[in-house]
Chains A and B, each alone.
Chain A
Amino acid sequence: MSLLIRNARVLDPASGTDAVMDVCVENGEIHSMGENINGFPGAEVIDASQQWLIPGAVDLGSWLREPGLDHKATLATETSAAAASGVTTLCYQPEPGASVDNSAQVNLIQDLSDAQGRANVQVIGNITHQLAGETLSNMGGLKRAGCVAVTNGWQPYADLDVMRKAMEYATTHDLTVFVYPLEHALANKGFMHEGAVSTRLGLPGIPAAAETVAVAQTLSLMELTGTRVHFCRLSAAGSVRLLRQAKQSGLAVSADVAAHQLFLTETDLMDYNPLCHVRPPLRAESDRVALLEGLADGTIDAICSDHQPHETDAKLAPFQQTEPGIAGLETLLPLTMRLVEDGTLSGLEALNKITFQPARIIGSEAGRITQNAQADLVLFDPDALWTFTLETMRSQGKNSPFENWAFQGSVSHTFLAGQPVYSAT
């Protein structure tokens, strides 16, 4: 199928392009772009005047649940939620109950998502067997099957020596290690940020040091092993500081933050709202400000959804009995664009954090609009005003704290390899 998108304002952070032009798509790739392009005969023509054409977003962390935890979500439901939200590449996050130990599991996930054809699903593999933190997974096989990184998720390593060896073995196979920084002993079975609010609510707290200690340890192990590490879901000001120093000293390190962490803080838990129960916990306002500064100065490379869909019962209980996580896929792009409204980032900088940068971190060619690139594209109406509601969520999990938030700008079309996978009309 051929496609000719006319008069779109093309925003491509990778090249710094911000100009009105036509884009011609042929055979799933961007064939040509410029002013007054002639499309192929029979091409579908879309007049995109007043609209932005942006790369489809690349999400570094989606807990897609299937196979294993299908009662929470399936690849079918979540990839169609992604398509409607302008996300064209999802990184499958392994977890206990839905972990990725061998190439057969990688192939199964890819087959199931390819059958839907709604989004590219890239698989992050287990770094230890069953994520138990004790023995190594078959990382060589995982790499050959197409895993873009390996991780132990939020599961602890038995000890730092296992972590060291896992990092060395991952490096042997040129795999980036996704580290969720948490010193479990210091987290002390807590449920929220340790501070005045946790004290008031009587909820056991997780100090910011539970994260910063783990960041510092990991940075030391990076120096020892030469591993490429990506830190997932930073939440604490101290972590941003450590990372900034590490980058200045030339370590091959990158980091992301969950979009909700940039807008919510511990005070959003004042009424025990289980929809704000997340890991890492929502922290103090000073942490939120430090995360924004880290984004602006490039210390934090990417913003991700940390999408964790849940069944209703997982959130319908006293706070300590609820499961952590926000179904964040459908608010990734809206919240990121709100950073532009707030003046935190420019439009290109904001898009960079959810397209080119995350693609670079997983070694993917996605997330850019350039000749011969795969045509994973989003048409975005920057003027549309809309309100987010749980009833209209496409994800199987309706667990979002952003109900009734008003957003400016919405996705009108999503294309995956040139094929329309979502259209608002």
Chain B
Amino acid sequence: MHPHFKPGPLPLSMQLTPEGKLKHFLSTEGLPHLLLHDIMDRAEQFVTLPAKQQKKAPFLRGKTVMNLFFENSTRTRVTFEIAAQRLGADVTNLDIRTSSATKGETLLDTVRNLEAMNADMFVVRHEHAGTAQFIARYCAPHISVLNAGDGRHAHPTQAMLDMFTIRQKKGDFAPLKVAIVGDILHSRVARSQIHALTSLGTGEVRVIAPKTLVPAGLDKMGVNIFNNLDEGLKDLDVVIALRQQRERMDSALLPSEQEFFKLYGLTDKRLEATKPDAIVMHPGPINRGVEIDSRVADGSRSVIMEQVTNGIAVRMAVMSMIMGSMAGGAA
């Protein structure tokens, strides 16, 4: 057996080249805060480019980006697709759920086949934690892997577009109080946000949820935990609502959407506890009347639509930095 195929650890450190540049983007955990700022600086450049030029920034000309989505997500896939196209890449979308995986092919075999089609970058979404790391560890050395969500583990581009949006609105992270509200237990977005916020030196990071939705040992990630929304909202600068999955209501985690909204739903009234200029964020798609009231979602505090726009800029930033480091130049 080739040693390349030996089962073993999947260290996060493989995200960076020996020179400290981004090789894969798998998690916000363990990345230096300067690099996180580099991503946001690069995104800023893409956002401020005039619309015409924005669509012609050919960092990835001649490259092939493959979207490997083992789990359905039209929205995320489309933003990656647009980002790659604007950078001049050829983009292929593979909905693996309906192809090889159901025919019993192993994940490594699938990866081998796609490598043979001259892929340069895999954008991976999978229902199991650590899958992007697994592919990064075992794929050919010239390929970069971008994690578009793995189980409950990480969704680093979503977290970075949220950080970018916060930085646009608030500037420095040090004085900020930021809270994440809702289903932390199942949320890869929350985990990536927490790592990014703590790395960026955020003044206070809180999570607000009932005990059933707070995973064990979360306090060890550097957050303060609140079970009561009104207490948790006090003096906040940024409120991040998470999408509440409907299926959680069918298990023993929550009694009903009504009770959740009553206790943890964001309304104008309850947001009075925050600072007057506090912003409200949501990774989408939103459930109106479950985790967020329509008046909040569409109101003056909401930056939800800016998040969507920033999502493309941040994904362009990450992709161009990865490919730049591969070429040994631009980034």
Residues of B within 8 A of A202 (CB): 129-130, 150-154, 188, 191
Known contacts A271-B9, A312-B5, A320-B151; is-contact A195 B217 (Cβ 8 Å): yes
- CB pair B1–A312 under 8 Å, yes or no, is yes
Residues of B within 8 A of A315 (CB): 7
Q: Does B8 contact A (CB under 8 A)?
A: yes
- CB pair A203–B129 under 8 Å, yes or no, is yes
- CB pair B134–A196 under 8 Å, yes or no, is no
Task: Identify B130's interface contact among A312, A318, A399, CB under 8 A.
Answer: A318
Q: Does A50 contact B (CB under 8 A)?
A: no
Task: Identify B134's interface contact among A197, A207, A272, CB under 8 A.
Answer: A272
Residues of B within 8 A of A390 (CB): 6
- CB pair B106–A313 under 8 Å, yes or no, is yes
Q: How far is the CA of A131 from the CA of B98 in the complex (A)?
A: 34
Nearest Cβ in chain B — how far from A92, in angstroms?
26
Residues of A within 8 A of B1 (CB): 312
Q: Does A13 contact B (CB under 8 A)?
A: no
Q: How far is the CA of A271 from the CA of B137 in the complex (A)?
A: 11
Chain B residue nearest to A191 in the complex (CB) = B129
Known contacts A203-B151, A318-B107, A319-B128; is-contact A196 B8 (Cβ 8 Å): no
Task: Identify A201's interface contact among B5, B9, B106, B130, CB under 8 A.
Answer: B130
- CB pair A272–B130 under 8 Å, yes or no, is yes
Q: How far is the CA of A312 from the CA of B130 in the complex (A)?
A: 18
Q: How far is the CA of A318 from the CA of B130 in the complex (A)?
A: 6
In A399-416, the 8 Å CB interface with B consists of 399
- CB pair A273–B9 under 8 Å, yes or no, is yes
In B66-106, the 8 Å CB interface with A consists of 106
Q: Does B221 contact A (CB under 8 A)?
A: yes
- Per-residue CB proximity of B115-133 to A under 8 Å, as 1/0? 0000000000010111101
In B184-219, the 8 Å CB interface with A consists of 188, 191, 215-218
Q: How far is the CA of A312 from the CA of B8 in the complex (A)?
A: 11
Q: Does A274 contact B (CB under 8 A)?
A: yes
- CB pair B9–A319 under 8 Å, yes or no, is no
In B210-246, the 8 Å CB interface with A consists of 215-218, 220-221
Task: Identify B7's interface contact among A198, A199, A316, CB under 8 A.
Answer: A316
Q: Does B47 contact A (CB under 8 A)?
A: no
Q: How far is the CA of A202 from the CA of B213 in the complex (A)?
A: 13
Q: Does B330 contact A (CB under 8 A)?
A: no
Known contacts A195-B217, A196-B216, A199-B218; is-contact A318 B126 (Cβ 8 Å): yes
Task: Identify A319's interface contact among B6, B106, B130, CB under 8 A.
Answer: B130
Residues of B within 8 A of A318 (CB): 107, 126, 128-131, 134, 150
- CB pair A321–B8 under 8 Å, yes or no, is no
Q: Does A205 contact B (CB under 8 A)?
A: yes
Residues of A within 8 A of B5 (CB): 312, 316
Task: Identify A275's interface contact among B8, B153, B216, B221, CB under 8 A.
Answer: B8
Chain A residue nearest to B218 in the complex (CB) = A199
Chain A residue nearest to B70 in the complex (CB) = A318
Q: How far is the CA of A155 from the CA of B7 in the complex (A)?
A: 27
Interchain Cβ contacts under 8 Å between A and B, 9 examples = A197-B217, A198-B216, A198-B217, A200-B217, A204-B152, A272-B130, A275-B7, A316-B138, A318-B126
**6 interchain residue pairs of minimum CB distance:** A196-B217, A202-B153, A202-B152, A315-B7, A202-B129, A271-B9
Interface residues, chain B, CB within 8 Å of chain A?
1, 5-12, 29, 106-108, 126, 128-131, 133-134, 138, 150-154, 188, 191, 215-218, 220-221
8 further contact pairs, Cβ within 8 A, besides A200-B221, A322-B7: A197-B217, A200-B217, A202-B151, A207-B216, A317-B106, A318-B131, A318-B134, A320-B130
